[in-house]
Structure 1
């Protein structure tokens, strides 16, 4: 796929929607990670425990994921449209110049409400992603340290735990990701999440929910690893953590 895009459309096409993707990370990711760490620190401070249990971490991550999905939905709509633009017929392409142009034109030509199209599956995905990603990372890190006696401060430990978190997150989030993408990329009124899901299952089978798992992991795996390695360094040097 990468080879075909580069040879047929040019090298920079593999970075289609980069501004929207950066804006999404600057809203969605910072919100969910920031809220999760804040809730976790608040609980540790109030309850005087060093490690919150999974039963405590899970609802914290779900709240953080839902709020992150809400904050990041507008940039996610623009991101998906920009990335999928070249697959549309020429007359249907939107040709947004950047993320902010996309947001402006959506509000002007459609409505501000369009920026929150697919909000429900995006909230579900935010909950699933954050719960599977951050909780899996915390559990995997604790397991590697307690059971395999790895050094909690070593980057190799952080790398291993984040790789496991990326695998789990990709698998758990795949169904919500597929439905969310179809809704956000749709033109006009194409039905809600349930009708799109039922129609896809009817015409393509249940397996459609895991379509694109490998490219999703190729994206989410390194993304998760880099994110947690960076977070651990921020925590080490007490920069905002």
Structure 2
């Protein structure tokens, strides 16, 4: 196993290999506190992080506020061109928390930009064969990644996947509704931002089984996760209609 697999998350597996087969057993990594029904493509890593900040605190009751930066990730993907979508630039000089959240938001907006100006059929298109990836599949996948890391790991909730493996998973998009996917993604991003805003510090911690993750670790991972999939989105969009851009 290489470093990327060791530090990367279980949700990466279906990205590389297409939608997982129903009832597929997870890889045994010596953990006895997981069950097949608990696993989906957005499950956190089973390996322990090399550095963990213990302590910190979390604030509950923050789920109702929609951050002001979120409305641009919406359902107008087919009404504007990719070039017309404006993304807020991340800060160049700011404190650590503002910098991390700014770069995460920039990556979210980048995925939204890659989906603009396309019909539902093209959003479902698996344009880079033999990969099973599609832009719509990436949006659905990232909605569940947001849900898992911020709501379940950091906020201590026990939410279930929006698109469970038993029903095909996030990447099974043949009959998927883009409007539903974008709305769910929008809502999950808004909840994530509210949870982050309410946390006392970047040292606030959450848990997945016996593993502990700081908010700092989660934000850095989410930036990396979006950046990786935005690279996939670049290739998909160029294959679909030739559109390119950062």
- TM-score category, normalised to shorter length: under 0.3
For the pair shown, the structure with the greater C-alpha radius of gyration is 1
TM normalised by structure 2 equals 0.27
**Which structure has more RCO (C-alpha within 8 Å, separation ≥ 6)?**
2
